[in-house]
Amino acid sequence: RPVVAMQNVTKVFSNGTLALKDMSLEVKSGEFLSLLGPSGCGKSTALRIIAGLGGPSSGSIDWPSSKINSKGLPEGDVGFVFQEPTLMPWSTVFGNVYLPLKLRGVSKSAARDKVMEVLASVGLADFADAYPRELSGGMKMRVSIARAIVTRPKLLLMDEPFAALDEITRQKLNDDVLKLWEQSGLTVIFVTHSVFEASYLSNRIVVMRARPGQVFTDLAIEQPDI
């Protein structure tokens, strides 16, 4: 069963903007899929619909093997990383990564090992007590990734996560995300406008065209496993 499946999804915003037209996509378990396309082609809109952060205007979205809550959304199975790390400035690195577990009622002592393990997996084991303002942009992004995976989601969604970082930091993070994916068996959907990033990271690339009102192509380029 696919982790997530979109069928003929169209999204028209209330101001009349046609952001997605007739998009169908099935994401298999364990895939690292990049959604590649120019700004404005509807990548974020598609990702938000997959995350359950906005419904389609028509068409359907299914999370076949997830627990579905009363609002028809997947429960706790999706981690989201945005371009802006959006960390709580008043809380430490530990506190920021603990938050999703706290919201699920896990006590701090019960969460400690899990949080530290996830921090170690993103290279931040020594920074648990630091505050976001003390961290570089790359490190803040690592915290944001740790926070997204601490609940062990099935699906990790990343929306142009490294676009604001310098090239070297970005390349390091690409390598680390790849390592994380290889070690964890996570399913990843990665939104990018960089052909390089998409081809470096993914084992499947879905190319989205500009002007979704006129053309939408869900052309998939399958790459062999490296």
Max CA pair span of the chain: 54
Between 150 and 208, name the residue whose CB sits nearer to ligand ADP: 208
Among 81, 135, 158, 188, binds ligand ADP (CB under 6 A): 135
Residue 214 is a binding residue for ligand ADP (CB under 6 A): no
Site residues for ligand ADP, window 153-172 (CB under 6 A)? 169, 172
Buried b (16+ CB within 10 A) or exposed e, 8-28: ebbbeeeeeebbbbebebbbe
Is 223 a residue that touches ligand ADP (CB under 6 A)? no
Query: Token digits for 110?
Result: 């019960």
Query: Rounded to the nearest whole angstrom, what is the least distance from the CB of residue 1 to ligand ADP in the complex?
Result: 27
Asked whether the beta carbons of 55 and 224 are under 8 A apart, the reply is no
The interface with ligand ADP within residues 36-65 (CB under 6 A) comprises: 37, 39-45
Of 102 and 179, which has the nearer Cβ to ligand ADP? 179
The DSSP annotation for 10-23 comes to EEE-TTS-EEEEEE
First and final C-alpha spacing in the chain = 24
* Site of interaction with ligand ADP (CB under 6 A): 13, 15, 17, 19, 37, 39-45, 134-136, 138-139, 142, 169, 172-173
